[in-house]
A = this chain, B = another copy of it.
Amino acid sequence: MPGNALTANGSALTQAERTAISDKAMLDAAIDLILEHGTDGTTLQAIGEKAGYSRGLATYRFGSKAGLFDEVCKSISRRWLNYLNNVVGDKDGIDAMSVALDAFFQFISDSPRDARVLQILYCGAASPKSEYRQTSVNIHQRQRDDVANWIRAGMQAGSVREDADAESVAVQYIAYISGMTYLWLINPESVDFGKANEDMKQQLRRWLQQ
């Protein structure tokens, strides 16, 4: 199943390669299965076997079901944040927030599976005793800090009004995205994400432009 080029030692695969391959296979399998059956409905046995391994590997590798989900959450978040950083570049202020909204819409359109699973996992993190709540808290806090920094940079650059409260705007912005994504997840047809983003951009301009 894996490639058959030999390593320097003459062995088929390095240990690091083996784990990398099985890791990725299991994370991919988990995404598919979470999409289809939700977190409760996916079993470690199903993940292991869909990935081409035994029922026991997922527990061995990730410690627990929650540990695996935490890793899926971090993995998808990394992809999204990388993409976001590329798109925003060194923009700031209203520009940065606007292209970030466009980027998120693009992410949802291009990678709906990743986006859906990420939101499902965020929702799972809401439960008390959730072993990956901290991951969700950290990611949301980081995004919030990024937005606040964009606004402060915009104020310094002169594109954002001096009397704006960066933290307040950031909270509104993150709450909007989080809430919209939830509504989209539970009932995709009921929301026009693109239209809502245009409205949000207009609001931000009204609020922040001087």
Contact = CB atoms under 8 A, between A and B. Distances in A.
A130 interface: yes
A196 interface: yes
Contacts of A133: 186
Interface in A159-182: 165, 168, 171-172, 174-180, 182
Query: How many copies make up the complex?
Result: 2
Given A36-B128, A137-B186, 17 more contacts: A37-B129, A38-B128, A41-B127, A41-B129, A119-B126, A120-B128, A122-B182, A123-B123, A123-B124, A125-B186, A168-B196, A171-B196, A172-B203, A174-B179, A178-B178, A178-B179, A178-B183
14 contacts: A35-B128, A36-B128, A38-B128, A39-B127, A41-B127, A41-B129, A120-B126, A137-B190, A168-B199, A172-B196, A172-B200, A178-B182, A179-B180, A203-B207
